[in-house]
Amino acid sequence: MEPITALKAELVPLGNQQTIRAMVTTEHAQGAVTIPAGISVGAAEAKLIDPAQAVQTIHEVIGPVLVGKDCLDQRSIDQALMDLDGTADRSHLGVNALLPVSLAVARAAAAALSRELYEQIAELANTEPRLPETIVVALEGGKHAPSSGLTIQEFSLVGSPATAAQIIDALDAQLRQMGHPSTTGGEGGLVLSGQLTNQAALQLLLDAAIKSGTSQPQLALDVAASHGVIPEAEVRQLVGQFPIAIIEDPLEQENLEQWQAWTKEFGTSRLIAADDLTVGNPRMIKDAVQQGVANCLVVKLNQTATLSELLDLVDLVRVGNWKIVVSHRGLETDDAFITDLAVGIGAEYLKAGSLRRPERKAKYDRLAAIRIHLQQGTTTGSTVAPQAPSQPPSNPMTSPPDGDSRTSSEEPSVADSPVGQ
Ligand code: PEP
Ligand code: MG
């Protein structure tokens, strides 16, 4: 028993908005979490309330109920949060009041038990920790970077952040040479100056990879099809032409039959990842698994209101043998909770932007620290052994990542085998 003695919240700047930081204090420990925010928010996502009101709600509504409760009992705390809200879309108290509290409880519990956060999450999830492969955003478009002229939201490299950084630098130099200088986007990817098509951008990214010594990189796209106008034929052509291992939201969320057809056609060799399609909603995810409309779940903060709900989603998709990408949001903070989450739930992938932005780098730095922790065998909650660096899989469906997520200080490596059919 580790009773909660205080719950505090404050507003923290986030881009030109504000977000919420919640801090849970117990008899022996403290845990604070700051939540991010989305830019391309899914239509059916859990509801946010005004940030100032969320802070007030935490102090006046949530605090009085949680103080005195056992911080180690995440399930019953999360149930209390759900009961207080009482709505399916979290519109009463707001996901931005509920989630930072739930996550801060987990961080405080880890501190009280003198364990790492990922160990605490792994124990709650009853899962073996795993070092995820990293998905590094190289180019930004869509709603995240409308000025780029690109209709796809994220063009990413699957592999180590250090290698991706070299490729991004090479692409940056190439664009300058071509007279199309780029800027750095909010996620640390490059933002083009509007003259290139999606196809040309992908070709330049591949060329930059080859120039910097990576002959056959694996790519990932977040098409975010519900947030723009991207013909299915165009996405299909890109998938046929480039080594794209992971395709997030390739189709609009209404087109379930097309999703199903895509998963049948491409799902044995590629990941068809559902983000806006399922928006962290348990009922939608259950249906999606049953109907086989995707084979990979994107997990983002703010889509679920508590950690327990999020862990339940993992169980739901594992039944269907889906893979998991834990993803950053469009607007991020220095908080690296998602890295511990990815390791703790045994996610195959972590998508967190590029090293060019400090709040994204923080996620990869945390992954490097966890790697060392695992290598030192200091883990208390896991039997997962650190693994020697090896090549990422050529087929993301049949070969789960093996923990080869080296970071900036480590030997560079990106996949050297394309995603083959
Ligand atoms: C995404 O769609 O994967 C993403 C990072 O976008 P946002 O956080 O803006 O919803
Ligand atoms: Mg997405």
Is pLDDT of 260 > 70? yes
pLDDT value, residue 394: 56
383 CA to centre of ligand 1 in angstroms: 33
Which range among 45-49, 111-115, 193-197 shows the weakest confidence by mean pLDDT?
193-197
Q: Is the CB of 249 under 6 A from ligand 1?
A: no
Three-state secondary structure readout of the chain: CCEEEEEEEEEEEECCEEEEEEEEEECCCEEEEECCECCCCCCCCCCCCCHHHHHHHHHHHHHHHHCCCECCCHHHHHHHHHHHHCCCCCCCCCHHHHHHHHHHHHHHHHHHCCCCHHHHHHHHHCCCCCCCEEEEEEEECHHHCHHHCCCCCEEEEEECHHHHHHHHHHHHHHHHHCCCCCEECCCCCEECCCCCCHHHHHHHHHHHHHHCCCCCCEEEEECCHHHCCCCHHHHHHHHHHCCEEEEECCCCCCCHHHHHHHHHHHCCCCEEEECCCCCCCHHHHHHHHHHCCCCEEEEECCCCCCHHHHHHHHHHHHHCCCEEEEECCCECCCCCHHHHHHHHHCCCEEECCCCCCHHHHHHHHHHHHHHHHHHCCCCCCCCCCCCCCCCCCCCCCCCCCCCCCCCCCCCCCECCCCCCC
CA distance 285 to 304: 12
Sign of torsion over alpha carbons 145, 150, 153, 157 = negative
pLDDT, position 368? 98
Quickly tell me which residue has 């930081």 as its tokens: 21
| Higher pLDDT pick, 294 / 44 | 294
Residues forming a β-bridge with 301: none
Instruction: Compute the average pLDDT of residues 129-149.
Output: 96
Does residue 39 have its Cβ closer than 6 Å to ligand 1?
Answer: yes
Q: Whose CA is nearest to atom 5 of ligand 1?
A: 329
Ligand 1 pocket residue status of 38, Cβ below 6 Å: yes
Examine the pLDDT at 412 and tell me if it is beyond 90.
no
- Does the beta carbon of 327 sit less than 6 angstroms from any atom of ligand 1? yes
pLDDT at 397: 65
pLDDT band of 216, cuts 50, 70, 90: confident
End-to-end CA distance of the chain: 53
Pocket lining: 15 vs ligand 1, CB cutoff 6 Å: no
Q: Annotated active-site positions, please? A: 187, 300
pLDDT, one tens digit per residue, over 327-360 is 999 999 999 999 999 999 999 999 999 999 999 9
| From 45, 143, 151, 153, mutation site for ligand 1 pocket: most ligand atoms within 8 A of C-beta | 153
Confidence tier at 244 by pLDDT (50, 70, 90): very high
Other Cβ atoms within 10 Å of 282 Cβ, number: 15
To test the ligand 1 pocket, which listed residue (40, 154, 187, 298) has its Cβ within 8 A of the most ligand atoms?
Answer: 40
Ligand number nearest CA of 329 is 1
Higher pLDDT among residues 44 and 335, named by residue? 335
Cα dihedral sign for 176, 179, 183, 188? negative
| Confidence check: pLDDT of 411 > 90 | no
Q: How far is the CA of 187 from the centre of ligand 1 (A)?
A: 10
* pLDDT higher than threshold 60 for residue 274: yes
Ligand nearest to the CA of 301: 1
Structure tokens at 45: 């996502």
Mean pLDDT of the region 170-189: 95
**Token pair listed for 25:** 């204090």
Q: How far apart are CA 344 and CA 31, in angstroms?
A: 17
Does residue 186 surpass a pLDDT of 80? yes
Confidence grade of residue 383 (pLDDT, cut at 50, 70, 90): very low
Please, which pLDDT band fits residue 194 given cuts at 50, 70 and 90?
Answer: confident
Nearest ligand to the CA atom of 327: 1
Q: Which of 328, 373, 333, 369 is nearest to 347 (CA)?
A: 328
Asked if pLDDT for residue 399 goes beyond 60, the answer is no
Query: Partners of 25 in the beta sheet?
Result: 6, 30
Higher pLDDT, 42 or 48: 48
Ligand number, closest to the Cα atom of 135: 1
In the structure, what pLDDT confidence band is assigned to residue 214 with cuts at 50, 70 and 90?
A: confident
Query: Tokens in use for 409?
Result: 């200080």
Ligand 1 contact, 275 CB (< 6 A): yes
Confidence of residue 43 (pLDDT cuts 50, 70, 90): confident
Mean pLDDT of 125-136: 97
Backbone Cα Rg of the chain: 20
Instruction: Note the pLDDT of residue 396.
Output: 73
Decide: 247 and 221 in contact? Cβ < 8 Å.
Answer: yes
* pLDDT reported for residue 229: 85
Distance 328 CA to ligand 1 centre (A): 7
For residue 400, the model assigns a pLDDT of: 47
Among 84-98, 255-269, 394-408, the range scoring the smallest mean pLDDT is: 394-408
**215 falls in which pLDDT band (50, 70, 90)?**
confident
Q: What percentage of the chain exceeds 70 in pLDDT?
A: 90
> pLDDT value at position 254?
86
Q: Which distant-in-sequence residues (6+ apart) come within 8 Å of 83 by Cβ?
A: none
Q: Whose CA is nearest to atom 7 of ligand 1?
A: 38
**Ligand 1 pocket, residue 412 CB under 6 Å:** no
pTM, to two decimals: 0.91
> Hey, what domains does the chain have and what are their CATH numbers?
4-114 (3.30.390.10), 133-376 (3.20.20.120)
CA-wise closest residue to 186 among 354, 364, 363, 2? 354
| Gap from CA of 43 to ligand 1 centroid (Å) | 12
Residue range 224-249: average pLDDT? 95
Could you tell me what percent of the chain has a pLDDT over 90?
Answer: 85
How many angstroms separate the Cα of 85 from the Cα of each of 57, 197, 306, 342?
11, 45, 11, 27
The answer on pLDDT for 256 being more than 60 is: yes
Q: Whose CA is nearest to atom 1 of ligand 1?
A: 329
Q: In the predicted model, is pLDDT for residue 95 greater than 90? A: yes
Q: What is the arithmetic mean of pLDDT over 253-270?
A: 94
Is residue 19 within 6 Å of ligand 1 at its C-beta?
A: no
